[in-house]
């Protein structure tokens, strides 16, 4: 079995662009995955597809590019461990969990991540504060501290557990420079794109310049009149072209 380093530049991805396949049909997802493979470093699958088609779809997409399962597991430690293992077994290379699950769950997941990396490159990504939230839309129990302080506290918890993968908005990237974290950033939009329900956004170039390891882009690509052209524009924008 081959061990892969967690220090690889793009982690388990081919390049930093993760395209979110947030569609309702497995055939549509597979068509997009095949058509956009020139640009995709990996593909994100969430509950919208996985609850319909299960691990079989993950296995099929993983043959095209690395799969990022984004179901944000948040449960007791043993249940989270079992869920992450199941995702790995179906071909996933990245999986999200909630940092809010606490130090015991995250520490056990760090041990599982190390074990799974003996087989192939794999990362557990800890979600901090959703990019659809801002201080006005926070649940009441979150309103004592500003958004960036909540994110900082959760990332400190992640690092204490032994994990290093974090999902955060592009607005928080500058908080984590020099911390040796693998930072996956949603909320990515070109200037011409609608923000949709994202509250904290940046352009691909701004996010990469600020230290993102990988970017998640969904609707600006898959809802475009020409997804291939939109994916190309995002890819070029990442390097400022």
Residue listed under structure tokens 């074990």: 115
The question of whether 2 is a catalytic residue gets the answer no
The C-alpha atoms of residue 238 and residue 173 are separated, in whole angstroms, by 15
Q: Which of 44, 72, 199, 202 is catalytic?
A: 72
The C-alpha atoms of residue 64 and residue 40 are separated, in whole angstroms, by 9
The answer to whether 97 touches 122, Cβ cutoff 8 Å, is no
CA-nearest of 48, 87, 104 to 96 is: 87
Q: Could you give the residue numbers annotated as active site? A: 72
């Amino acid at each position: 079995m081959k061990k892969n380093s967690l220090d690889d530049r793009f982690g388990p991805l081919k390049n930093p662009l993760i395209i979110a396949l947030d569609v309702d049909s497995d055939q549509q997802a597979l068509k997009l995955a095949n058509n956009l493979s020139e640009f995709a470093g990996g593909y994100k699958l969430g509950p919208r597809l996985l609850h319909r088609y299960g691990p079989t779809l993950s296995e099929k997409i993983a043959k095209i590019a690395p799969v990022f399962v984004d179901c944000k597991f948040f449960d007791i430690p043993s249940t989270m461990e079992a869920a992450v293992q199941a995702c790995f077994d179906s071909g996933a290379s990245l999986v999200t969990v909630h940092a809010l699950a606490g130090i015991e769950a995250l520490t056990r997941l760090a041990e599982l991540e190390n074990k799974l990396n003996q087989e192939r490159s794999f990362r557990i990504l800890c979600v901090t504060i959703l990019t659809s939230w801002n201080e006005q839309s926070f649940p009441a129990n979150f309103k004592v501290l500003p958004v960036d302080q909540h994110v900082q506290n959760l990332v400190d918890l992640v690092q204490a557990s032994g994990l290093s993968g974090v999902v955060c908005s592009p607005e928080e990237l500058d908080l984590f420079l020099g911390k040796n974290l693998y930072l996956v950033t949603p909320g990515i939009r070109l200037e011409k794109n609608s923000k949709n329900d994202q509250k904290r956004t940046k352009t691909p170039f701004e996010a990469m310049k600020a230290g993102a390891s990988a970017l998640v882009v969904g609707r600006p690509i898959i809802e475009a009149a020409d997804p291939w052209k939109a994916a190309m524009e995002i890819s070029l924008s990442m390097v400022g072209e």
